[in-house]
Amino acid sequence: MEGAAPDRLEAVVVIAPHVVIRGNAQKEISILAEQGFLITRRKTFAMSPSQTRAIAAGNDAVATKFGSGPVCALVVVRNDATSPYSALAELGLDTLYCTDSSLSTLRVKAALFPGRRQFERTLAVTSGAAGQQLLESVCRQHGFIVVARQERGLTAKDAERLRVHLSLEQKTLWVLEKDNAIVDLQLAVGDATVVSVSRTLAEADNAIQTYWPEGFPLQRTLALLKPDVTAAGHRAAILQAIVDAGFTVIAERCLQMTLEKTKAFYAEHAGKPFYDGLVEFMSSGPIVALALSKPNAVSAWRTLLGPTNSDTARQTAPNSIRAQFGTDGRRNAAHGSDSELSAARELRFFFADLPAASHRPVSAQEIEGKQQEASLNQVLIKGLTALCRTKPVGLAAVKQLGEWLRDNNPLRPVIIEPAAGAQKEYASTLEKLQERAPGGQIRIVFIVGPPGSGKGTQCEMMRSQLGTGRACPRSSMLFA
């Protein structure tokens, strides 16, 4: 944001390839140390074309010089916490490329020292209509999600906290989110004076907690993973992207819609040119329905989806779900509700038993518990109905209900009769073992596990190593 500089400004220094190849990089590093620079990061590597472009910034001579071989890249700060830029310029070493501002440092550091991109929230402060227009344009171009905004007149304390100039003009505070939001927003805004942004995650968190102490109300939306991505095996990757974007999946359902149900879901589009093809496609294979929750969920999910046409998405929002997994305008990976009203209607269509919305995320465990409760109620209603038919008196009613529940338990274990001839084999084996066992006492060990888990192998190992009896060839039992 505008105003005071952070305590220790960073700069990026790149040592030229011819110095690195000759083994003289350490001499340059020693010069930097003698001049009061502290190296916080270092790596030697050959830059990719995109990394070379990041430091060249359109200067062909720089691109040729530093893109010709391995370089040694450094992140440096001044020991005395002063600005490093003028001190680096005064060195006058033509073997070094040095960033000359905090903005160029952000850009080059992001290119040369890319970290794991994680989902972040950041704060922006805009001044007037020009600031608002600039930030809205940045959000559209770079995929920032607007979580919340508020207009307020700033006090002197506010201006100091946000590091903006105090004026009578009202400011607009914005909470934005996306992966790597802190750095990406600084780079996107540049040195514009009408927009100020947080420079660190801690700074953003502190400001957000100050001006939104109660957090943000949750919203729900529907997501549908379409037949093309489920058939291609992209379900897990898209779910991971959803979770990484800060959504809570409060309900999930895999199904294949009938033609009639698909027509009912898309009824508002009936008569439009794309309707018949859309209905046919959406009923052509399994889909995954998701109930998603997060602040401003409708807008956030549509931003993550990207433009409707996947080809357009690849051009304008290359990191969006449709850009990565979609094919065209119809086979575009996923569906998202277009408004809060549509979301409520569409969620009821797929999740009729979904609990009422609350101001906190609802976990999948709560949804599962609700579904189990509904199933229990259905069983009890049937049992009580049977009880009403016979009208037992007193404790007889309790006994009869208990017996009915025992006999009609939907989770009652199923006993599978052994295959023909197996019982005779078991009986024969037992007789032989009883003849050899002291007192006719036999211990039976059951080895339990799914198919292919190695039950038979374990039986044989126990028999051979522990001196037990024999393994029954058609079961997971060991007779000891």
Residue 332 is labelled as binding a ligand: yes
Residue 180 is labelled as binding a ligand: no
Q: What is the pTM of this model?
A: 0.56
* Burial class of residue 154, CB neighbours in 10 A (0-12, 13-18, 19+): buried
Residue 161 is labelled as binding a ligand: no
Report residue 215 as tokens: 């957090």
Structure confidence at residue 143 (pLDDT): 82
d(CA 183, CA 13): 19
Structure confidence at residue 467 (pLDDT): 60
Structure confidence at residue 325 (pLDDT): 93
Residue 235 is labelled as binding a ligand: no
Nearest alpha-carbon partner for 220 in 120, 354, 322 = 354
The per-residue pLDDT string of the chain (480 residues; one tens digit each, 9 = 90 and over) reads 433 334 578 999 999 999 999 999 999 999 999 999 999 999 999 998 889 998 988 889 999 999 888 999 999 998 887 889 988 988 888 899 999 888 889 889 988 988 766 778 999 999 889 999 999 989 888 888 888 899 988 888 888 888 777 676 789 999 999 888 888 898 889 888 889 999 888 889 889 989 998 888 889 999 999 999 988 889 888 988 898 888 888 888 889 999 999 999 998 888 888 889 999 999 999 999 999 998 889 989 998 999 989 999 888 888 889 999 998 888 899 999 988 889 999 999 999 887 766 444 433 344 344 444 445 666 787 788 888 878 888 888 888 888 888 877 765 554 444 555 556 666 666 676 667 666 666 667 777 765 555 666 676 667 666 665 544 443 444 444
Structure confidence at residue 318 (pLDDT): 85
d(CA 363, CA 368): 9
Fold (CATH) for 218-350: Alpha-Beta Plaits (3.30.70)
Structure confidence at residue 280 (pLDDT): 93
Q: Which residues pair with 45 in a beta bridge?
A: 71
Dihedral of the alpha carbons of 408, 410, 411, 413, in degrees to the nearest 10: 60
Structure confidence at residue 457 (pLDDT): 67
Residue 479 is labelled as binding a ligand: no
* Burial class of residue 93, CB neighbours in 10 A (0-12, 13-18, 19+): middle
Which CATH architecture fits 10-113?
2-Layer Sandwich (3.30)
Structure confidence at residue 274 (pLDDT): 87
The domain limits of the chain are 10-113, 119-211, 218-350, 426-479
Structure confidence at residue 183 (pLDDT): 87
Q: Which residues are catalytic?
A: 335
Contacts of 321 (CB under 8 A, 6+ apart): 238, 241, 304, 305, 306, 333, 334
CATH 3.30.70.141 assigned to 119-211: yes
> Are domains 10-113 and 119-211 of this chain identical in fold?
yes
Nearest alpha-carbon partner for 57 in 9, 118, 14 = 14
